[in-house]
Structure 1
Amino acid sequence: MVLGDAMLDVDVEGTVDRLCPGTPAAVVDVCRELRRPGGAGLAALLAARSTDSVLLITAVADDEAGRALRGLLDEELTVLSVPLRGTTVRKARVRVAGQSLLRLDTGDGTADQGPLAAEIERALRSAGAILVADYGGGVAGHPDIRRLLAALAPTVPIVWDPHPRGPAPTPGARLISPNLSEARRFHQSGLEPAELAMILRDDWAAHAVAVTTGAAGAALADGRRVRTVPVPADARVTASAEPDACGAGDCFASTAAASLLAGATMAEAVSGAVEAAARFIGAGGACALSVRVEPSTPAQPPLPPNLGSAFDVAARVRAAGGRLVATGGCFDLLHPGHLSLLQQSRALGDALIVCLNSDDSVRRLKGLGRPILQARDRARLLTELASVDAVAIFDEPSPAALLERLCPDVWVKGGDYTGTQLPESEIVQRHGGETVLIPTVHGYSTSQLVAAAQGRS
């Protein structure tokens, strides 16, 4: 369970080769825009890469930034949202040659402090471990949430990544992990990391406090002991350029929480977290988790949740003069018929994008008992196949709107259709593409497999 304030992080990357006339301001020619979840959203995304089941409790508005943020998260984890007063926070860094020139922050949203939904209370009570990623947006200060955290602390490992603008951690947290700058603001002193760790452990009535110190690792106060946890030699960043440390604290906290969930000792959890954060920075930090956003006109509707990677594939294929193929379906329980369709589809061009029905879309088509697997799991299985280059999830009854955006050169359908029976054919042909029909493999369908399994049970 990850609990805290999520936001949309954006990197606007460009080049500078001139100044604005009449001013000393640099002119940035934008090359690309990258988006990723920030704050508790990034912590939850990192946790989902190492833990089987992750649920994020946060506060997100139904605005452009909020929809983009949900789109980046929904494929990988479950999100429960408390109401947000105001707009979703969006933080945009303008970067040139790997260096940040400035950051533009928009959004004034704070979590509503009204009664907590029963669904969220049930979820908290079922957590095996809880990471509080506080960014001062009010989720960690919600009175009902704080009451539950205090009650759960004796039996559930709670890792708290605090923020100077947020509330004090609730008593009994298993581990609290401020960085050195934050720790000195909490205690209003210039003490050394080890002294700060001991003082804050007592102030917060925590089992342990780890003050992270960047390249020096962390100072861990566990009980009455204080120890230094160094970065392993083979994980140290050796590049001459200043590394981008954005997200390192989220990586540290999510790794520690996952380790405690798995039964690690505090020393093992913090050592593993120090190493993971160092390797995370060495691999490019949070930027490595970003999704590129293709330019679009303001009149266009927002992208479906996971469309960024599909558009990246489409853009690369077109730039190379290649042939883009798309197919669609529910793909609920992959079987040999699916594999045959996907392999034949991929052979028709240079890349294959699968347009995948969302859970609600499958339910409307197949009934209340379907899908058997959630969309994020179906997408994950598909992207593991060598024949599939990207997956895009759509929520409508058909992928027509998605095809208007992707404009594939070839649209593939399996089954006993004719080209005139497919409403998608007109869209594809209008954009200069063609429709190809591939016969299904006899004897294989998900409905038949489900029925057979139910008959044997």
Structure 2
Amino acid sequence: MTIAVVGDLLLDHDLVGEATRLSPDAPVPVVDVDDSTYRAGGAGLVARMLAADGHDVVLVGVTGDDAPAGRLREALRGIRLATGPSGAPTPVKTRIRASGQAVVRVDEGCARPGVPGATPRMLEAIASADAVVVADYGRRLLENDDVRDALEAAATRVPVVWDPHPSGAAPVRGLAAATPNQAEALAFGSAGDAAGAATELAGRWGCPVVVTLGRHGALLHHGTGSGQRIPAPVIGTTDPCGAGDRFVASLAVGLATGAALQDAAQEAVQVAARFLADGGVSALHRQFPVVTDAGSATPSAPHDAGTPGPGGTQGPGGTGAADVWETLAQVRAAGGTVVATGGCFDLIHAGHARTLQAARALGDCLVVLLNSDDSVRRLKGAGRPIISAHDRSELLSALGCVDAVLLFEDDTPVNALEQVRPDIWVKGGDYEAAELPETPLIASWGGRSVIVPYHVARSTTSLAAALAKVG
């Protein structure tokens, strides 16, 4: 089952520390920051939650080309992206917390943009999904007519759950549910209470409405009758941030697996409560990749390929850890084909170069999945690798046919493949593609495996043996 998350992508910045004194300049607390991290927000947070639960997720949205966009792409590593250009700065929401208490939030890049375009890949991702979550944060993607048409078509065949925003677009017809919180429901309608707003919105939008009520649970209204209250368990929390995203993600999964709306909503209330009880957004670093100010991502979401070592995740220019994900995002945004190959690449020789050139010719970018030093040692023995991962990565990145290198720690590239999800997986050899152990995995997301010719008498082992005889 594939879940498409469609909506606005934000970058959340968390500054966490202690406040033990007031500023001498004004009666405000001074926060001594201990930790500064970035993570995916908006629709990206919903996608990250679903991926962490083990679901196959494709994230549909638009991104900028500024520094925050690079951090956002890194925070989304491991999630399939179907994105286009936003033509606007990346919105950044900075939350400052002290001693477990939110102090202030600072928003940047949040001026209202123009309506972005939609790429064919974005529309295809919506059309092929088994369920859709719409996360509207008022950045106008949901005003795009092509996106709206695709969502309305999807709603005729699969559950589509829409989390609306007062500054956003009106939901399309035929939804499985719309999920405003109480403040949003009151802002959308003219009623003075949640029940009246739910009734009004269900009639206006032509779908069931589930109004989330924080610690009071939720109110479900099908458009007729008085609606149904869904209580929430009592928990102690001072920061409800992220609970709505957790709720809508759970609700969509429940509906996609065949649950009735009432049952799915009851389970979603429980899931959101557990999320807050476990620490909410302040504890997300335990589950999701977050990006530090130094630019590295902390482990690890499911299917993470391992923590990059020095030079372990680089583009051709060796420009840093985000290059793999930036390369993939750019190629996919343009509707291009991603090719990947993998191996130890210890003592790079002519056979390697020919295989890499043949692989690159099959698509629009080539990502090399490179075994780490420990991985090579387990596979090849105590005397290997001859060349360190840092140097192997740098040598590969210098080749004109290699667009990016991703280092992985496992004995097989399976987890790394789950991250990159190439359209074509290439191996050199004299066997059939069907024999490759990776072929079923590649096929699971619609990719294919390709064998390119194996060049006899060109191998690292024979080259190492020859070098041993020299001198």
TM bin (shorter chain): 0.5 to 0.7
Judged with a 3 Å threshold, the aligned counterparts in structure 2 of structure 1 residues 176 and 448 are, in CA distance, closer, same or farther, namely: same
Residue type at the aligned position of 1:63: D
CA distance in 2: counterparts of 1:228 and 1:185, whole angstroms: 20
Judged with a 3 Å threshold, the aligned counterparts in structure 2 of structure 1 residues 199 and 16 are, in CA distance, closer, same or farther, namely: same
What RMSD in Å do the two structures reach over aligned CA positions?
3.9
Corresponding position: 1:204 with 2:199 = no
The equivalent residue for 1:277 is 272
Judged with a 3 Å threshold, the aligned counterparts in structure 2 of structure 1 residues 48 and 449 are, in CA distance, closer, same or farther, namely: farther
- Deviation per residue, 1:173-208 (Å, 9 max, x gap): 1100111111111113322x23321211001111x1
Deviation, structure 1 residue 101: 1.2
Mapped contact 1:130–1:157 kept (Cα < 8 A): yes
The equivalent residue for 2:250 is 255
Corresponding position: 1:94 with 2:107 = no
Judged with a 3 Å threshold, the aligned counterparts in structure 2 of structure 1 residues 119 and 109 are, in CA distance, closer, same or farther, namely: farther
CA distance in 2: counterparts of 1:450 and 1:247, whole angstroms: 51
Deviation, structure 1 residue 275: 0.9
- Deviation per residue, 1:401-428 (Å, 9 max, x gap): xx9xxxxxx978534867875484799x
Structure 1 window deviating more from structure 2 (356-365 vs 88-97): it is 356-365
Q: Aligned to 1:190, what secondary structure does the other structure show?
A: coil
Corresponding position: 1:64 with 2:43 = no
Residue type at the aligned position of 1:137: R
TM-score after normalising by structure 1: 0.67
CA distance in 1: counterparts of 2:384 and 2:293, whole angstroms: 35
The equivalent residue for 1:385 is none
Structure 2: gaps of 5 or more residues: 301-306, 314-323, 329-337, 343-351, 361-365, 394-410, 412-425, 440-471
Structure 1 window deviating more from structure 2 (360-369 vs 277-286): it is 360-369
CA distance in 2: counterparts of 1:197 and 1:426, whole angstroms: 60
Residue type at the aligned position of 1:211: V
CA distance in 2: counterparts of 1:201 and 1:28, whole angstroms: 44
Residue type at the aligned position of 1:56: L
Aligned to 1:79, which of 78, 81, 94?
81
Mapped contact 2:82–2:125 kept (Cα < 8 A): no
Q: Aligned to 1:362, what secondary structure does the other structure show?
A: strand
Corresponding position: 1:12 with 2:15 = yes
CA distance in 1: counterparts of 2:308 and 2:104, whole angstroms: 40
Residue type at the aligned position of 1:284: G
Structure 1: gaps of 5 or more residues: 297-301, 311-323, 331-355, 372-393, 404-409, 428-439, 441-445
The equivalent residue for 1:267 is 262
Deviation, structure 1 residue 37: 1.2
Percent of aligned pairs with the same residue?
31
Mapped contact 1:92–1:104 kept (Cα < 8 A): yes
The equivalent residue for 2:215 is 215
Deviation, structure 1 residue 243: 3.0
CA distance in 2: counterparts of 1:44 and 1:325, whole angstroms: 22
Mapped contact 1:14–1:29 kept (Cα < 8 A): yes
List structure 1 runs of 4+ shifted beyond 4 angstroms.
109-112, 291-295, 324-330, 356-361, 363-371, 394-399, 410-413, 416-423, 446-450, 452-457
Mapped contact 1:7–1:90 kept (Cα < 8 A): yes
Mapped contact 1:84–1:109 kept (Cα < 8 A): no
The equivalent residue for 1:54 is 57
Deviation, structure 1 residue 250: 0.6
The equivalent residue for 2:460 is none
CA distance in 2: counterparts of 1:327 and 1:257, whole angstroms: 40
Deviation, structure 1 residue 222: 2.1
Q: Aligned to 1:308, what secondary structure does the other structure show?
A: coil
Deviation, structure 1 residue 295: 4.9
CA distance in 2: counterparts of 1:4 and 1:180, whole angstroms: 21
Pairs within 5 Å for 1:307-318: 307-309=297-299
Q: Aligned to 1:267, what secondary structure does the other structure show?
A: helix
CA distance in 2: counterparts of 1:57 and 1:93, whole angstroms: 25
CA distance in 1: counterparts of 2:25 and 2:107, whole angstroms: 26
The equivalent residue for 2:406 is none
CA distance in 2: counterparts of 1:120 and 1:111, whole angstroms: 19
Aligned length: 354
Corresponding position: 1:145 with 2:147 = yes
- Deviation per residue, 1:429-449 (Å, 9 max, x gap): xxxxxxxxxxx9xxxxx9799
CA distance in 2: counterparts of 1:141 and 1:106, whole angstroms: 22
Residue type at the aligned position of 1:169: P
Residue type at the aligned position of 1:26: P
Q: Aligned to 2:157, what secondary structure does the other structure show?
A: coil
